[in-house]
Amino acid sequence: MPGWPQRNCAHIRPGPPTLQHRSGGAFTSAETDFWVFLMFGPLRSEIDARFAELQSFFAATRFRRELEAPSKGLAFVQLYAVYEFTVNGVVQAAIDSINAHGHRMNDLRPSLMALYCDPELESLRNIRVRNVWPARMRIFERAFSHDVIALPTNTGPPTDGTHYRHTQLITIFNVFGITRLPARRRRHLYRIDEVVNNRNQIAHGEETAAAIGRRYTRAEVTHIISQIKSVCLLLVSVFDGFCANTQLHRR
């Protein structure tokens, strides 16, 4: 199983291990449980490690007056990086885990069917008019076929165009058929948007890290880090449980 990438909160490239059955067929129940553990266990450990690095960096700047404001702003950049890594990681781990169950296309719940037909649906964007209806019919034929499901390991998370704000998490949960909130507390969802907005303002040059940092006390930034860590670990826990229960994948 390939290792996780080197930890660098500023430049995150998610690379969870993938599931490949040596015979090309579906896993047994015991094998699937084992692989689900292998997918989500290392992911959870990696997230813990990245938060520990973030907290260590932030603590190290505590008594450096010249770094006080910039370090608080840069904490949002690092925090966003770990959060984005988590979202990408849980979605990819979920896809690989569901692939391993060996479901047939026509057994999937409709929302998951849409996910597994995404490559074909995306191809309709640039198709010639005369080919639209044949392409649509091929998609529905596949959706109701007995084909074993498969999505590539580089499939990105479903998006609603909000670029990792909390509404994208809700979209992801809806696609997978998960009915709970993607956070322990509703206010954590809006904290996600605050982190995304602050990171974007710094990354796009609209505000300096120091300007963002001056709006917060160290205690407030520390609390925000704890809240986003709670969100990230919840995502791992929810998808871990979802992937282990095959009944949740089927109609």
Going by C-alpha positions, the residue among 124, 110, 76 that lies closest to residue 227 is 76
Q: Which helix (H) or strand (E) holds 23?
A: none
> Band of the pLDDT at 83, cuts 50, 70, 90?
very high
Mean model confidence pLDDT for the chain: 87
**Tens of pLDDT along 122-179?**
999 989 999 999 999 999 999 999 999 998 878 899 999 999 999 999 999 999 999 9
Q: Which helix (H) or strand (E) holds 244?
A: helix 218-244
Task: Give the C-alpha separation, 142 to 227, whole Å.
Answer: 42
Three-class DSSP category at 154: coil
**Tens of pLDDT along 174-212?**
999 999 999 999 999 999 999 999 999 999 999 999 999
Task: Give the C-alpha separation, 115 to 95, whole Å.
Answer: 9
Angle between the N-to-C axes of helices 218-244 and 166-176, in degrees from 0 to 180, rounded to the nearest 10: 10
Tokens of 29: 């129940």
Q: How many CB atoms lie within 10 A of CB 125?
A: 6
Q: How many CB atoms lie within 10 A of CB 141?
A: 11
pLDDT of residue 37: 60
Tokens of 242: 């979802």
Task: Give the C-alpha separation, 83 to 223, whole Å.
Answer: 15
- Please, which residues have CB within 8 angstroms of residue 205's CB and are 6 or more apart in sequence? none
**Tens of pLDDT along 1-24?**
343 343 444 333 344 444 444 334
Tokens of 42: 């290392």
Tokens of 92: 């990819």
pLDDT reading at 57 higher than 80: yes
> Band of the pLDDT at 33, cuts 50, 70, 90?
low
- List alpha helices for the chain, DSSP H: 29-60, 68-100, 110-116, 118-123, 129-143, 166-176, 186-203, 209-213, 218-244
Long-range contacts from 199-206, C-beta under 8 angstroms, 24+ separation: 199/76, 199/77, 199/79, 199/80, 200/163, 202/73, 202/74, 202/76, 202/77, 203/77
> Band of the pLDDT at 104, cuts 50, 70, 90?
very high
Domain map of the chain by residue range? 29-103+158-249, 104-148
